[in-house]
Every structure is written in structure tokens, then in C-alpha cells.
């Protein structure tokens, strides 16, 4: 069965303090690994899709990387507006849907 | 604005009552999904529709039914609500276009069953 584990559950950073969020996964043939951002009271918002080990994608202060067992979301010099819950999901080759992790709740203090 | 629209945004039901959650997308997507989100458990798939006219069970389908009315609309029905169905429900559609491959989510329906 496909599984996704995110760590830590919660992370508090000072503005400008870089860090990484982890997403460990097991899947029988990876079609894609996805990162979403979710603000309180809203639906998740798409950030990145990664397809194969070694792939990297960047958007502003965020950079996502992928290995055969895990993905990292690196946050460089975060700002308070980066505070949100970050969700990781995987889709297997033989599935039409995605399996989500429980998320990492990020708080960035000014 | 283009996207996924869910109604209602909030609902309180008594145990045993029924209701239908509505979802519509105007992006001409084939695949649509219903997830529920509970604290500490992440998003769990209830049902999905890979294309108009087809529906399939997800991880937690018990107590729910769905209808893919047309390509735009995908509704979720609770026939006899139970307190365990208290959750936030999200509808999503799958976009594959121009290098973008991922879900577009609605804003959610917060359901409380008392």
C-alpha cells in the first residue's frame, strides 16, 4: 500500500532562518510526487510536481527535491507569509488518485 | 474566476439526516475527486470519477455515494449522517496542461454532524 510520512509535524522558524521539510514515501512505481500549500480555512494550492529521482524545482523561496525514497521542500530565508501547512502527496503508476501525508505546519515569526 | 466551486461552505446536520455536497469545475477536466480532511490524518480519498459516466471507490467510501452528473459536476451524498462524518470535505479536479500536472481544489465544505 502506498504510504506518505511527513516530518516534522510542526516547525517554527524565525524570519530568514532557512530549513527543510521532509516527505518519505513508499509507492509501487512513482508517477509523480506533489507538494501543496494550504492556508487555514482554504483548499490546498498546487506548488510542484516531481517525476523522477534527482529532479529539482524552484519557486521563489521554495525548492523541492526528490530521491527514490523521499522528497525535501527547502525554504530559504522564509518570510511570515510563508506560514502555512505544506502537504506532500504521491501518485502511483497504476492509480488515478493521490495519497497524501498529514502535512507539516510551518510558522515563520517576524 | 475559473476553478472548482463547492457548496455549501458550512453545514450542521443532525445524526440520520441526509445532504448533498455540490462541486462544479469550469476547466473542462476529465477527472474529479472527493477527499475528506481530518486533524492529524491528512486528506483521504472518498470517491473519484476518472471521466464522465464513471465513478470508483477510494480509501474511505462507506456512508457516501457520488454522482457525476456531467463533465462539470460531481456531487457527494450522505444518506444518513453520522458524527464520524464530521470533517472538512474537499473536491478537486486533475489538470494536465502545459507542464502543469496536479489537483485544483475547491475551498471546502466544513460539515458538523451532531
The band of B59, judged by pLDDT with boundaries at 50, 70 and 90, is very high
* A110 in B contact zone (CB under 8 Å): no
* DSSP 3-state of A82: helix
Question: Which chain A residues have a beta carbon less than 8 Å from that of B60?
Answer: none
Provide the pLDDT for residue A76.
98
> Is B40 close to A102, i.e. CB distance below 8 A?
yes
How big is chain A, counted in residues? 110
The dihedral sign for the CA sequence B97, B103, B107, B109? positive
List the single residue in A41, A49, A99 with the smallest CB-CB distance to B101.
A49
Residues with Cβ within 8 Å of B17's Cβ and at least 6 positions away in sequence, in order, are B80, B81
Q: Which of A3, A23, A44 to mutate to test the interface with B (most CBs of B within 10 A)?
A: A44
Q: CA angle at residue B110 from B106 to B112, to 5 degrees?
A: 155
Provide the pLDDT for residue B1.
58
pLDDT in tens, A33-78: 999 999 999 999 999 999 999 999 999 999 999 999 999 999 999 9
> Is B42 close to A4, i.e. CB distance below 8 A?
yes
The band of B62, judged by pLDDT with boundaries at 50, 70 and 90, is very high
Residue A96 CA, chain-centre distance (Å), reads 20
Residues with Cβ within 8 Å of B11's Cβ and at least 6 positions away in sequence, in order, are B19, B109, B110, B111, B112
Mode of pairing for the β-strands spanning B56-57 and B32-38: unpaired
pLDDT in tens, B24-49: 999 999 999 999 999 888 899 999 99
Q: Which residue has the higher pLDDT, A5 or B97?
A: A5
Q: What is the mean pLDDT of chain A?
A: 96
DSSP assignments along B27-89, one per residue = S--S-EEEEEEETTTEEEEEEEESSTT--EE-SS-TTEEEEE-SSSBEEEEESS--GGG-EEE
pLDDT in tens, B86-102: 999 999 999 887 777 89
From B82's Cα to the closest Cα of chain A, the distance in A is: 23
Provide the pLDDT for residue A11.
98
Provide the pLDDT for residue B39.
87
* A100 in B contact zone (CB under 8 Å): yes
Amino acid at each position: 500500500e502506498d504510504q506518505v510520512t511527513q516530518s516534522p509535524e510542526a516547525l517554527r522558524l524565525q524570519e530568514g532562518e532557512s530549513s527543510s521539510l521532509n516527505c518519505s514515501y513508499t509507492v509501487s512505481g512513482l508517477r509523480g510526487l506533489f507538494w501543496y500549500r494550504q492556508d487555514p480555512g482554504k483548499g490546498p494550492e498546487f506548488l510542484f510536481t516531481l517525476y523522477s529521482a534527482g529532479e529539482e524545482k524552484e519557486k521563489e523561496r521554495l525548492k523541492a527535491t526528490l530521491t527514490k525514497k523521499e522528497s525535501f521542500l527547502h525554504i530559504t530565508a522564509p518570510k511570515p507569509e510563508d506560514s502555512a501547512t505544506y502537504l506532500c502527496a504521491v501518485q502511483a503508476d497504476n492509480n488515478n488518485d493521490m495519497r497524501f501525508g498529514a502535512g507539516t505546519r510551518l510558522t515563520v515569526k517576524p | 474566476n475559473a476553478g472548482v466551486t463547492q457548496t455549501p461552505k458550512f453545514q450542521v446536520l443532525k445524526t440520520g439526516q441526509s445532504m448533498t455536497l455540490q462541486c462544479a469545475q469550469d476547466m473542462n477536466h476529465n477527472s474529479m475527486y472527493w477527499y475528506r480532511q481530518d486533524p492529524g490524518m491528512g486528506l483521504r480519498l472518498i470517491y473519484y470519477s476518472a471521466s464522465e459516466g464513471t465513478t470508483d471507490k477510494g480509501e474511505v467510501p462507506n456512508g457516501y455515494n457520488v454522482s457525476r452528473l456531467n463533465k462539470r459536476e460531481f456531487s457527494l451524498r450522505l444518506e444518513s449522517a453520522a458524527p464520524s462524518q464530521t470533517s472538512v470535505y474537499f473536491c478537486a479536479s486533475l489538470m494536465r496542461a502545459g507542464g502543469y500536472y496536479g489537483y485544483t481544489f475547491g475551498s471546502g465544505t466544513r460539515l458538523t454532524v451532531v
